[in-house]
Amino acid sequence: MARQRETWSSKAQQYAALAAISVNLRSLLWCPLLVLRYGIGTFIVSYMTAIAFICYFVLYVESVVSQFTKSGNRGIFNCCPLFRGLSYSMAYFAVMANLPQYAVVSHAFIYLLRWVESSAPWTSCEQATWAADIGSCYAPSAAYTPCDTVATVLARRFSGHGVQDGYPLIYRGRVTIVPIDEFNNASANCVPGTESALAGFYKCVRSVAH
């Protein structure tokens, strides 16, 4: 006796499942980059249009046909032997499309294993055994700023404040005046490093995961 397959209990359940399939980890990670590259208005309009008029209807047709035949992707094309190989290509495509998500999850898994140690390896440069040059490493801290980013940090802080007398800094093609005392203090207390211990550890994790 064939196994009885489950069906959708309501239309709302089906629509919720289709929405969950449309939004995955990969799309969430790519959204900030695409918004910065194309602008929030252009990206949101294009993304929602593609989801509403392309992705949703394709998923809806697939779910309706599967619901009607009560078969998986392998038995759904038995009605037409010519398309029987399509089920295997769909499974292969699904596995290959999810490989980047597996890499991201592996990063999080490595961080989780190292985080439970008595001292996390990215909290200090003494444990930065992966760094090619220990002298370029600095420990991330809110009290210190890398020397190569002092100008950018101060320009962002005082941009639009209307300071008339001070040290001129160029940020995004515009000249921003920064108080001399603030610039001298930030330059005196900055860290002479070019890469944080956390960034170095992340590069090491990526090289191991890939």
Measured between alpha carbons, how far is residue 122 from residues 12, 111, 149 in Å?
A: 45, 10, 20
At residue 170, φ and ψ (nearest 5 deg) are -100, 120
3-class DSSP assignment, residue 209: helix
> Residue 86's closest CA among 73, 70, 96, 95?
73
Tens of pLDDT, residue by residue over 150-180, are 777 777 777 777 777 777 777 677 777 878 7
Q: Is 23 annotated as a binding residue?
A: yes
Lowest-confidence segment of 103-112, 133-142, 194-203 by average pLDDT: 133-142
Tell me, letter by letter, the H, E, C secondary structure of 103-151: HHHHHHHHHHHHHCCCCCCCCCHHHCCCCCCHHHEECCCCCCCEHHHHH
Tens of pLDDT, residue by residue over 56-94, are 888 888 777 777 777 777 777 777 778 878 888 888 888
Q: pTM of the full predicted structure?
A: 0.41
> Residue 165's closest CA among 150, 187, 180?
180
